[in-house]
Structure 1
Amino acid sequence: MSNQSGICANEELLNVIRSTPNNGLLIIAAKISSDSTAVEFKEKFDTTNDLLESLDSDPSYILIKDSKKNPEVYDFISFVPDPAPVRAKMIYASTKNTLLRQIGSNVINSQMMFSEPQEITDFVNSSTTTSSQSTLLSESEKIGIQINEEQRNMRALQGHQLVSQNNGTPNSLTFEVNSSAGSIKSLLESNNVITFKINMDNEKVEVTSQTNITSSDAISLTSEHPSYTIFKNGELYYFIYSCPSGSKVKERMLYASNKQGFINHLKDNEGISFTKILEIGDADELEKSLMSSSTEAELKQKEESSKSDNNTQRFNRPKGPTRRKRI
């Protein structure tokens, strides 16, 4: 598909954008028509809650104007949910620039691309000044802001850190490990594959599944969300961090920023040292042949033997013809 789809906004949408009076918060939603011939006006909203209730798994364009802040311009959002079909994502991406040119660059304040409804709410809340929030937000939105603020304060008091504060690889785990099922090392004595998830509701790392397999080929990883998996093969331990392609942005950040902390926790508190740490996207990217059951000594010996063989293999020059003795 080319960079431009050739799809343009219809006149109704452009008129709504140009002629809507400036009074409070205005949100305009637009969608590409079912026959992919035009960008059409869908609906207008006065609150983000109303907008969120109308969103589904289909992409859309969203324009937001706050007349109390700047009555002349819109913030433009390409809302493309992760579950949306690939073709729809491509069409919306290749139509965006044409739509922006039709609206006019002087009318657009900023451009964003979001995949989660909560990102829209966060953007509106962060761009709205404290003095004007009481008039622009609904009661439920105000309560939501207060709850989010309290949660941020609690995390700050508990010493929780953001990914950016640790270059994305913090050494400490910011979540408690749920040990109600016993120590992880003891669980691995009866089940050699244990999968974990981060429960964001109770802020704990929890066991989601335990299985006992006879071969690394039988390992099964979830595709619904990121996960941590421990595989014990013989006397060796392997750590697998999986982040499927459909994972939410917040999940990706959360699991990535806690991975090293969880590994350190397992080493310091459970006495588990890993032979290899594997990081993959989707489950089919897992190279199962890397998880050998050989002892570490055998692995090193094989590697050294392989290097030695490579060093000793040299090209032998063929022997020349033997000289005949003269009689």
Structure 2
Amino acid sequence: MQSGISVSSELQDAFNAFASDSSIFCLPVTITAESLTPLSPIGFSSPGAFYPSLSQLSSVLQPKTPIYLLFRRPEAGSSSLIALTYIPSNAPVRAKTLFASTRATLVRELGSEKFASTVFATEEEEVVGAEAWRERDDEKNGSSKSRSQREELMGEKERELEAVRRAEEEARNGTPSRDIGIGGTFARNGGIGGLTSSMQCKMPVDEDAKTALESLQQGDLVQLAIDIPKETFILAAKESGIEPNSVQSHISPSSPRYTFYHYPDSDVVIFVYTCPSGSSIKERMLYASSRMHALNLAQDQGLKVSKKVRDHVVGRCLIDPVLTLSVQIEASSSDEITGERLQEEVSPPQDDGLRKGFARPRRPGR
């Protein structure tokens, strides 16, 4: 999905100046009036000092406001540029979708060959933290040795959580990618408890679950769970006449679930994957690895899954005339699945909030 937003002439000029001026550390970019526009460039705190300059970025990072940051990395070569997309996890859904769907346009129109890499971040520490950048460098350089050394320093619990994080990240993106935040690219054969991080588990499905998905009507909510000992998809609940504001009350607050909700008075089916933070390691691994199979199962029962284009949190599909699984949501808590959020996913507000942008930060030293 493309947003229709393009690079402004102002940004093109600013980028040309940035690319040719080695004293500029970062060029922030935002979306204003449906165009990609530059903010004030940020110079190095001292000549060529990448890591010491990172702390300056706090001045342009706002808790709920996405932004693009174009970096210069002198350590990696005088012409090495990096494009970072920062989309806070608590940013408004419309802003997330807009910035996520425009990030490829930004790099392509400025010249993808000019960027050594692209990065996606959802937390401020992933942008301003030196350790986060060092870990990215290790992963980008294919340093399996450095990864092994880090894992040797981890306890068993930490290694398990790292494996879960990688599996969940792959579940969001479909396949491993260099562009997954701090972790970077990960080995396809790493895993725990016999589960690999690259695996998409395909398991038996209870007939009741198939029947419930096949007969999904407007206002219906079907919830699937995994019988962990049997490793089988089962029907956890099927309810009718559910209003959007009450969906969250029907989702388990303590166990992972795959929820399919047919939004009333529409052809939209919303897929919600919830995985509470208190879930066990095995639950998190199994549900993350089986997410795509849950979607394939829905497709087999007549819920047509169209082309999917995801951002970090929300994946959208094109809507066909037939009943289509057109919205995907991921959440760590059922409390996040509010009626307002569901409505915003089905019918994004056509407001001008992003067009106003935000105040340009002052140039360092002024």
TM-score above 0.5: no
User: Who wins on radius of gyration, i.e. which is larger?
Assistant: 1
User: What TM-score results when the alignment is normalised by the length of structure 1?
Assistant: 0.42
